[in-house]
Amino acid sequence: MDGDLLGRLRDRLQELCSVPTLPAGWYCVSATLAAEGFRFGGDFFVADLVDLPSGPGLQMVLVDVCGSGDTALPDAVQFAGALGGLIGVVPPQEVMAAANRFLLRQPSDEATATAAQVVLDLATGGYVIRSAGHPPVLRWDSAASAWSVDTARGTALGVVDEPALELSDGLLAPGEALLFYTDGVVESRELDIEDGIAWLRAVARDAFLADVDGAPAAILEQVSRGDDDRAVLFIGRRPADHLIG
**What structural domains and CATH numbers belong to the chain?**
3-244 (3.60.40.10)
CA–CA separation, 24 and 37 (whole Å):
40
Q: How many residues does the chain have?
A: 245
Percent share of the chain, pLDDT over 70 = 84
Considering the chain, what is the average pLDDT of its residues?
87
Let me know: does 68 contact 35? Beta carbons within 8 Å. yes
Q: How confident is the model at residue 245 (pLDDT cuts 50, 70, 90)?
A: very low
Stretch 146-173: mean pLDDT, rounded?
95
Nearest to 66 by CA among 14, 111, 9: 111
Rounded to two decimals, the pTM is 0.89
Counting residues of the chain whose pLDDT is more than 90, the rounded percentage is 58
Give the torsion through C-alpha atoms of 67, 226, 178, 99, to 10 deg. 0
Q: Say if residues 94 and 35 touch (Cβ distance below 8 Å).
A: no
Q: Please give the helix or strand (H or E) that residue 180 lies within, else none.
A: strand 177-181
Average pLDDT over residues 233-237: 97
Helix (H, G, I), strand (E, B) or coil at 133: strand
Q: Which residue has the higher pLDDT, 71 or 60?
A: 60
Q: Which amino acid is at 109?
A: D
Residue 10: its pLDDT value, please? 63
CA-based nearest residue to 168, from 136, 204, 125: 136
Which pLDDT value is given to residue 244?
47
In our burial notation (b when 16+ CB lie closer than 10 A, e otherwise), range 156-167 reads bbbeeeebebeb
Residue 190: the pLDDT is: 73
